[in-house]
A and B are shown apart, each in its own frame.
Chain A
C-alpha cells in the first residue's frame, strides 16, 4: 500500500494562508491505514489549522470530507457541493488523490497536506517500511524474495558493495544490508547459485514514466 506522512503544520499553514474557507479531504484507503489522511486525521488537522489561524489573529472556516478512494474520479464526484462553497481544497490523500481532485475540479486550487513516501508494509504497529520501489520488472525470484532495488541503498544487482558491515548498510548502521539478507536466505534455501550468476543492468524502459497499463479483461 501507499505510505504517506503529513507535512509539518507550519508548511501547510503557509500554503493556505491566503484563504478564509477551505475543504479538507481525506481518503479512506492507504492513508487511513498508515494514520496520515483518514477521517480522524482530517478532523485533527482542521482544528489545528483553525487554532493556528486564530492565534495569528485570523479566522479560517473548514469543511471536512473523506472519500473512500480519492484516486478515483467517480468517487471524488461526491465532493462537488462542498467544493462550490470553498476557495480551496486541502487534500490528505496521496499524490494520486490530490491530482484526481485537481483534475476533476479544475477551477479550484488543490493543495497537498501529505508527503507521499513509498510503497510499503507495516512492520509493527505504527511503523511502515519500504519494500518495493515499483520498478516494473520484479527481480524477487532471483533474490530469495528480498528486494535489492529498494532495500539495497544502491539498488545493486550483483552482490554487496564494500560498505557492508557486519550485516548492516554503509548508509545507515541501523539498516540491514539487503545483500547480506539475500545471501543468508539463499544459503538457507540451498540456492546460492542464483547469487553467483551475472545480472545485466536494469532496463529502465520496464516502466516508461509516467507509467501506464492497459489491462486485458479476462
Chain B
C-alpha cells in the first residue's frame, strides 16, 4: 500500500477500511492471515483495543504487525485502560513504528467485559484524547513540556448516527470536529434515510469532514434482532430482518453478505458519504466477498 490513509481520504476515492480483531493470546496465525488477505484490498486496517472490554493482544502490537506485513494500520485507542501518561507513551512508540492513524474512543465500560472487577481508568474522554493528539503534534506533551521529536497523526473519532436521543450525540460530534478529528467512523448503520439525515447535519458542521459508514455484517436474523435489542445506537429495519429470515436454511450468511454489499453500493452510487468501514466481527475472511457484492 503505497498511499497513506490520509492521502487516500483526501484523494476523493471511495474509502474502504476493515476491522481486525487481535487474538486472545499470542497465537497470531489467524490475525496474520486476515491481514494478508485484506491489506491490498482495503485502504486501511483498523485494530480494536480490548474490544467490548475483553482483554486481548494489544491494538498497538497488532498495528505494528500490520505495518510489518506491509499494510496501512489505524490504531484504535480507548480511554478505559490507560491514563493520559500511558496514552502519550503509546502514541510516541506508535509514531516511531510508522503508525500514522489513530482512532480516538472513550471505550466501553469495564463492567461489560471479562475483567469486571478491574478498575476503569477514563482519565480522559474521547474529545480530550483528540486534544491530546493535537497537543502532541504541536511539539508539547499534554502538560506543556517540550517533546524531543514530535508526532503527526491522522486522528479520527466515532459517531453514532442512530443514537437516541440524537441531539447530545450531535453536540459531541461537533466537539470532536472542533478538537481536530479528521475522519469519522460511524456505529453500524442500516437505514439509509436516517443516515442521509445524519449526513446533512454532519455537512452543516463541516463540509469537508470525512465520514466512513460503519457496516456490520449481519450473519442471521437472530443477530439482527440482537443488534436492535442489545446494541445501543443501532437500528436494523424490519425489512432487512425479514429478508434474512426468508433466506433458505444455511444461506443466511450469504444473504448478510449480499445485504452489506448492497448497502455499500448504495452509499457509493449515491455518494452519501466518503466511504465505509467494514466490521465482519469474527468473519474477516468474508470481507472480500462483501466487497465483490458491493462492486468494489
Chain A positions within 8 Å of B, measured between CB atoms, are: 153-167, 170-171, 179-180, 183, 187, 192, 195-196, 198-202, 204
Contact = CB atoms under 8 A, between A and B. Distances in A.
B179 interface: yes
B187 to A, nearest CB: 6
Q: Which of A155, A195, A201 has the most CB of B within 10 A?
A: A201
Contacts of A153: 109, 111
Contacts of A195: 168, 171
A161 to B, nearest CB: 5
A154 B168 contact: no
Contacts of A162: 105-106, 158, 160, 163, 187, 232-233
Contact of B122 (A156, A166, A167): A156
Given A154-B122, A162-B106, A162-B232, A179 B128 contact: no
Closest 6 interchain pairs by CB?
A165-B232, A159-B172, A158-B127, A183-B168, A156-B125, A154-B122
Given A154-B122, A160-B169, A162-B160, A198 B131 contact: yes
A127 B112 CA distance: 25
Interface of B: 84, 105-106, 108-109, 111-112, 120, 122-128, 131, 142, 158, 160, 163-165, 167-169, 171-172, 174-175, 178-179, 187, 232-233
A201 B124 CA distance: 6
A170 B167 contact: no
B112 A170 contact: yes
A159 B127 contact: yes
A163 B109 contact: yes
A170 B122 contact: no
B109 A170 contact: yes
A194 B81 CA distance: 28
Nearest to B163: A164
Contacts of B174: 196
Given A159-B175, A162-B160, 13 more contacts: A153-B111, A157-B128, A158-B126, A159-B127, A162-B187, A164-B232, A166-B165, A171-B111, A187-B167, A196-B174, A198-B131, A199-B128, A201-B124
Contacts of A187: 167
Given A162-B163, A195-B168, A200-B131, A154 B232 contact: no
Instruction: Please indicate which of the listed interface residues A156, A159, A160, A163 has the most CB atoms of chain B within 10 Å of its own CB.
Output: A159
B184 to A, nearest CB: 12
Given A156-B125, A201-B128, A196 B109 contact: no
Given A154-B106, A171-B111, A196-B174, A180 B165 contact: yes
A155 B111 CA distance: 14
Contacts of A158: 125-128, 172, 175
Nearest to B106: A161
Most buried by A among B105, B123, B171: B171
B122 A155 contact: yes
Contacts of A160: 163, 168-169, 172
Given A158-B172, A163-B108, A198 B187 contact: no
A136 to B, nearest CB: 15
Nearest to B169: A160
A116 B111 CA distance: 21
B169 A157 contact: no
A164 B109 contact: no
A159 B178 contact: no
B219 to A, nearest CB: 22
Given A163-B232, A165-B233, A183 B167 contact: yes
12 contacts: A154-B106, A156-B106, A156-B125, A157-B125, A159-B172, A162-B105, A163-B232, A167-B165, A170-B112, A196-B175, A198-B131, A202-B123
B97 to A, nearest CB: 26
Nearest to A183: B168
Given A154-B120, A162-B160, A165-B232, A196 B125 contact: no
Given A165-B164, A198-B178, A154 B172 contact: no
B143 to A, nearest CB: 11
Contacts of B172: 158-160
Contact of B128 (A163, A165, A192, A200): A200
Nearest to A167: B165
A183 B168 CA distance: 6
A155 B79 CA distance: 11
A137 B109 CA distance: 24
